[in-house]
Structure 1
Amino acid sequence: MNFLSWNCRGLGNPRAVRCLGDVLRTQKYDIVFLIETLSLDVRINELCRKFGYVFHFTVDSVCRSGDLALMRKFNVLCDVVVHFSNFIDAHIFKQGVADLRLTGFYGYPDRSRRRESWSLIRSPSSLSSLPWCIVGDFNDLLSESDKKGLVAHPQSLLDGFKNIISDSALTEVDLNGGSYTWEKSKGKSNWVREKLDRAFGCNEWWKKFPSCKLSLLQTVVSNHNHIFLDLVSTEFSMAKFRFKFENTWLKEQLFHDEVVNF
């Protein structure tokens, strides 16, 4: 199973829609989480039909900066449990994969509302005992290395975000393909790059998906790049591991004794 998260900065631009289409055709994503679509539900429904998604759930923002959408393929079942202007929390079911809980998240971009964002991370952390992953654009940094630019990120904000992740017993999924997911004023003296898009898993998540991978996908229509979460379940089908007798075992000196004593 895999999951795409992208802060698309508006789908009213035909170029952005073409870019999204190219991304969705390149890789068959089971679940797609879109942030800042700035689009009505009917528009998301059109995109679902166009790109082969059979279900969508949208959340309207309380201001212009927002609008969330969750889309799924036919081979995945998705039950939205709770939602807010900043997140969509859902139970995900797919044959051959452990049931899981996924939260698509969008943190407040306004620094004065960071504490509200942190509260929203804490609020769904105890809703279920299922393996849980929260992924999206947090608009927050965990360390100084998450930013490259002229002005340092306030230490109080670094500590606040780090504390809420620790209090929620979450562990970050390592990002492959780049160090930063957002940039501004590229090539200029005030060029800023930050790691705003992330994924975190709880303890039960890591027990089920210890090899999950998070990758960065470049885009040319937004200052946010996509992040792509790929799950590798530890569960297996017994049908794939059938017993097969090997004649060479008969040549082993202790083989007959081991069979008799079994």
Structure 2
Amino acid sequence: MNCISWNCRGLGQPRAVLELTELVKNKSPSILFLMETRSKEQYLKKLCSKLKLENVHIEPRMNTGGGLALYWKNGIDLKVLDSSPTFIDAVVNPGMDDAWRLTGFYGNPITANREHSWALLKHLCLKMDIPWLCMGDFNEIIKAEEKKGGANRRERQMREFREALDFCGFRDLGFVGNPFTWCNNQFDGEVTWIRLDRGVATPSWIQMFPTVRVHHVQGTLSDHCPLWVCSDDENIRFYNKSRPFRFEAVWLRDEGCEGIIRSAWQGEISNDSVGKLMGKVEACRLSLKSWSRLSFGNIRRMLMKKKKELAAAEQLSMAGISHEQVRILRGEVYELLVKEECLWQQRSRVEWLKGGDLNTSYFHG
């Protein structure tokens, strides 16, 4: 069990796609549900290869807003039963004993129309009786504690949402991480945090996947954080292997790179002409390697550090302290994501000729 649900608030920006691919690369979901894609169908289909999720069902955007997309891997036996601008309903392993139902849901953002969302949820409940997981942005909370800042939520709104969940037999799957999934990111005025996104499931589904947890994953672009729904037995392993020296294109984004090369190249090497050339190349290699490790640092490590700082800043914002540091750190996290993307592009054989670096083993040999 490994799914992601995210109200991405548009995939038209390169930054949004970068954050999405980073999320998918790190969590490796089998199923991905996106809301408010605000993108054309052809564009969303092209993302399949970038996300390495081979299948997609698209609910087109309305004018320039809305839009849903459900992606899944080839190894998943998934059949989409029905969809609309506010949901995608599917069955995993249809016809099998271990079949279960997945609904990606998007609650109506207009308060006056939210009763239509709950009527729809009840209608979906009556269609079949198999283990059921429903996840997405419901645009509502079930209790006052799920909102911090701003005007108080009306009790009637919350009660109607709770009644719809009870009608369907849903239980809230809880969460790991920050208690809220949405922030208004106000520059002026009061910062508001709300838990609008959640995963809910029927008791039979919880029995089928007893170790599933819903993680609130940090995001830097959308005002909604992604939900990562996964079992405890989903392990992500990273293998460290020694690699030969490579000149990283991303180093050129740092102003100190030229100085390191110039300093190493101008060093005194006492030898014949060929030996002197080889000595200077070796000096550059050692200097760049040392500089990258100590000054430039490990991008992955730096990214993890900045994300921890961002999480701490968000906690302070939730406690009513300045939100400015959150905005600053989100920008720094994005810059590191860009640098990491540059590293992965250089490592992609498809990009070698396009990038013109011909970074081949023969050249380095």
- Tell me the TM-score normalized by structure 2: 0.61
Cα separation, 2, equivalents of 1:231 and 1:38:
30
In structure 2, what is the equivalent of residue 254 of structure 1? none
In structure 2, what is the equivalent of residue 44 of structure 1? 44
Asked whether the 8 Å contact 1:180–1:194 carries over to 2, the reply is yes
Residue 232 to residue 204, structure 1, CA distance change in 2 (3 Å): farther
Residue 61 to residue 118, structure 1, CA distance change in 2 (3 Å): farther
Cα separation, 1, equivalents of 2:192 and 2:37:
23
Asked whether the 8 Å contact 2:59–2:85 carries over to 1, the reply is yes
Unaligned runs of 5+ in 2: 234-365
In structure 1, what is the equivalent of residue 141 of structure 2? 141
C-alpha root-mean-square deviation of aligned residues, in Å? Answer: 1.9
Matches within 5 A, 1:87-98: 87-93=87-93, 98=98
- Tell me the TM-score normalized by structure 1: 0.84
Asked whether the 8 Å contact 2:53–2:74 carries over to 1, the reply is yes
Deviation digits for residues 67-107 of structure 1 (CA, Å, limit 9, x no counterpart): 0000001211210011111000001139x993211000001
Cα separation, 2, equivalents of 1:120 and 1:178:
29
1:69 aligned onto 2:69? yes
For residue 207 of structure 1, what is the amino acid of its counterpart?
Q
In structure 1, what is the equivalent of residue 207 of structure 2? 207
Cα separation, 2, equivalents of 1:166 and 1:63:
34
Asked whether the 8 Å contact 2:30–2:72 carries over to 1, the reply is yes
Deviation digits for residues 170-209 of structure 1 (CA, Å, limit 9, x no counterpart): 1110111110000013575411000000011112212212
For residue 125 of structure 2, what is the amino acid of its counterpart?
S
| Number of corresponding residues | 232
In structure 2, what is the equivalent of residue 190 of structure 1? 190
Whose strand proportion is higher, 1 or 2?
1
In structure 1, what is the equivalent of residue 24 of structure 2? 24
What is the Cα deviation at residue 32 of structure 1?
0.2
Whose helix proportion is higher, 1 or 2?
2
1:173 aligned onto 2:173? yes
1:117 aligned onto 2:104? no
Unaligned runs of 5+ in 1: 234-262
Asked whether the 8 Å contact 1:93–1:100 carries over to 2, the reply is yes
Residue 48 to residue 150, structure 1, CA distance change in 2 (3 Å): same
Higher deviation after alignment, 45-54 or 121-130: 121-130
Cα separation, 1, equivalents of 2:225 and 2:169:
27
Cα separation, 2, equivalents of 1:4 and 1:225:
11
Asked whether the 8 Å contact 1:213–1:229 carries over to 2, the reply is yes
Cα separation, 1, equivalents of 2:100 and 2:163:
25
